[in-house]
């Protein structure tokens, strides 16, 4: 026959006394671990907040510097375009303003290309190209010559086989303008025909050595690097 232990005595048994401290100790450990987690999260949040503050703080300090640099770029570059020639010459070192600073070989290469284009445009009556490469009274002279030729129904044929020599014979600077004068010696075939296509001047089977003296100019105050033809002359015999 089995006897049951009274309820009052069950809580006082040595076995039950050992369970109670274990149960409380486990809860305390859980609470302690939760507390550590909170402390760790708080530390991480504080660290991230500090790093964010450092980054934002540096950004705000650097921004005015970048703004001043961009303002300087925006002001200086356009100012050179709007400034008068005398103002620009005062800002640029003298050796950069003088025509002597130009690379002569590179200039002559460009002048040779312009020489061919201008002759071709004049022969074909391409005034659009001429207006890009010529300037001043010379442009009006070319326009008038083309208009008269068209009115008389004449045609001009220019075939330049090659440029024999090209040489810069004069350089000067005047009132903010640089002037380069070049002597071209080339082999050309020049033929003029009437409205019926008959040759009235020149020989289509003959090339002659022709000497041309052209003066190119550009503004020293302009950012445009292109030179324009402003004068031509017949060489002295």
DSSP letters spanning 69-106: HHHHHHHHHHHHHHS-HHHHHHHS-HHHHSGGGS-HHH
Q: Based on the fold, state whether residues 7 and 47 are members of the same structural domain.
A: yes
Last residue of a domain, one of 39, 54, 82: 82
Residues 73 and 17 in one domain: yes
> In the prediction, which pLDDT does 39 show?
64
112 shares its domain with 221: yes
Whether residues 16 and 60 share a domain: the answer is yes
Q: Does residue 123 share a domain with residue 39? A: no
Strand-pairing partners, residue 214, are 182, 232
Predicted TM-score (pTM) of the model is: 0.57
Query: Do the domain assignments include residue 96?
Result: no
Q: 111 with 180, same domain?
A: yes
* Same-domain check for residues 13 and 51: yes
Contacts 24+ apart (CB under 8 A), 224-232: 227/107, 227/110, 227/111, 227/114, 227/180, 228/133, 228/134, 228/135, 229/114, 229/118, 229/133, 229/134, 229/135, 229/138, 230/134, 230/135, 230/136, 230/138, 230/179, 231/138, 232/138
CATH number at residue 165: 3.10.450.240
Polymer length of the chain:
237
For the chain, the domain total comes to: 2
Domain assignment of residue 14, yes or no: yes
Q: What is the pLDDT of residues 202-233, one digit of tens each?
A: 999 999 999 999 999 999 999 998 999 999 99
- The per-residue pLDDT for 146 is 97
**What are the tens digits of pLDDT across the range 78-114?**
222 333 333 333 333 333 434 444 589 999 999 999 9
Q: Which residues face 107 on adjacent strands?
A: none
Q: Would the CA dihedral through 182, 164, 133, 109 be positive or negative?
A: negative
Do residues 195 and 227 share a domain?
yes
Q: Do 112 and 212 share a domain, yes or no? A: yes
What is the domain extent for residue 34? Answer: 1-82
Residues 143 and 177 in one domain: yes
In a domain, residue 4? The reply is yes
Name 10's Cβ contacts closer than 8 Å, sequence gap at least 6.
Answer: 16
Q: Kindly report the number of other CB atoms within 10 A of residue 73's CB atom.
A: 10
The model's confidence at residue 126, banded by pLDDT at 50, 70 and 90, is very high
- Residue 28 — φ and ψ, nearest 5°? -65, -40
Residue 89 lies in a domain: no
pLDDT band at residue 236 under the 50/70/90 scheme: confident
Q: Is residue 95 part of a domain?
A: no
Shared domain check, 193 and 129: yes
Q: Are residues 134 and 20 in the same domain?
A: no
């Amino acid at each position: 026959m089995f006897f049951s232990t009274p309820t009052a005595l069950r809580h006082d048994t040595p076995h039950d006394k050992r369970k109670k401290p274990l149960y409380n100790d486990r809860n305390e450990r859980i609470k302690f671990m939760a507390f550590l987690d909170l402390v760790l999260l708080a530390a991480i949040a504080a660290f991230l907040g500090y790093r964010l503050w450092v980054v934002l703080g540096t950004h705000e300090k650097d921004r005015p510097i970048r703004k001043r640099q961009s303002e300087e770029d925006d002001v200086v570059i356009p100012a050179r375009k709007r400034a008068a020639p005398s103002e620009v010459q005062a800002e640029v070192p003298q050796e950069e303003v003088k025509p002597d600073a130009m690379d002569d070989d590179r200039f002559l290469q460009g002048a040779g290309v312009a020489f061919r284009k201008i002759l071709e445009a004049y022969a074909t009556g391409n005034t659009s190209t001429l207006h890009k490469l010529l300037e001043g009274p010379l442009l009006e002279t070319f326009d008038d010559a083309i208009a008269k030729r068209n009115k008389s129904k004449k045609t001009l044929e220019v075939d330049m086989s090659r440029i024999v020599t090209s040489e810069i014979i004069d350089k000067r600077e005047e009132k903010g303008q640089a002037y380069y004068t070049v002597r071209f010696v080339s082999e050309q075939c020049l033929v003029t025909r009437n409205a019926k296509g008959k040759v009235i001047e020149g020989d289509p089977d003959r090339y002659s050595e022709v000497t041309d003296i052209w003066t190119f100019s550009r503004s020293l105050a302009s950012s445009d690097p292109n030179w324009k033809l402003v004068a031509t002359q017949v060489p002295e015999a």
